[in-house]
Structure formats: structure tokens, C-alpha cells
Amino acid sequence: DTEVTQTPKHLVMGMTNKKSLKCEQHMGHRAMYWYKQKAKKPPELMFVYSYEKLSINESVPSRFSPECPNSSLLNLHLHALQPEDSALYLCASSQAMTAETQYFGPGTRLLVL
């Protein structure tokens, strides 16, 4: 099973709202990732967690706050977002941070009004 699940599938939020995106994998992978993808662009890395610790933060604004409660779960907390943050947010996982192959979830399509 190479499945990464993400909820919700779609999210519409105002600029003053607080919401969270959730990601789950049961493949025993120890590295999990958040990506942002705009239309017709490749995914852009935001955060990497390795063994539940934040290992990479690609200078993402503080209105995005990641959390890794355990080895299977990854959250992305959103607060005071801007319309330009509207995008597809993808979660991925891999066996380890140094592993080459990442498996992606279906994404959450976020619209900020």
C-alpha cells in the first residue's frame, strides 16, 4: 500500500480564518513533506519532517505552521492567509529523508478569499 491520504479535498477560507490541513500515511515512512503547487508549475517544497522533527523549512511565512503529532500524521495549520496562498497543497512521504522516492497524496485545493 503506497497511499498517502489528505483531508479536506477542498477548502475555502477567508483571510482571518484559522484552518488545518491533515495528512496521513501508514507505510511506516519516517519522512513527511508539505509542498505547495500553483497551476501549471511543479510542486515547491515547504517543510520536511524527519522522525517527527522539523528538518527543513524553506523560508515559508509564519502564517503556515506545520506539526507532526506522530510518525503517521502531518498537519499544516493556516492562519491569516493571503489570496496568493491559494494553491494545491500536497503532502508526501518517503522511507527516510535521504530516500529518493516520495509518494504524494491527492492534495488539498485551497482557495483564500
Partner 1 sequence: QKEVEQDPGPLSVPEGAIVSLNCTYSNSAFQYFMWYRQYSRKGPELLMYTYSSGNKEDGRFTAQVDKSSKYISLFIRDSQPSDSATYLCAMPRDDKIIFGKGTRLHILP
> Which of 11-19, 36-44, 59-67, 76-84 is the region at the interface with partner 1 (rule: CB under 8 A)?
36-44
Minimum Å distance from CB 77 to partner 1? 20
Contact in structure between 74 and 66 (CB atoms under 8 Å): yes
Contact between 66 and partner 1 per CB under 8 A? no
Conformation bin of residue 8: beta by default, left when phi > 0, alpha when psi is -120 to 50: beta
Minimum Å distance from CB 75 to partner 1? 17
Q: Is 100 exposed, middle or buried, given 0-12, 13-18 or 19+ CB atoms closer than 10 A? A: exposed
Provide the binding-site residues for partner 1, judged by CB under 8 A: 2, 4, 6, 40-43, 45, 48, 55-56, 88, 90, 97-98, 100-107, 109
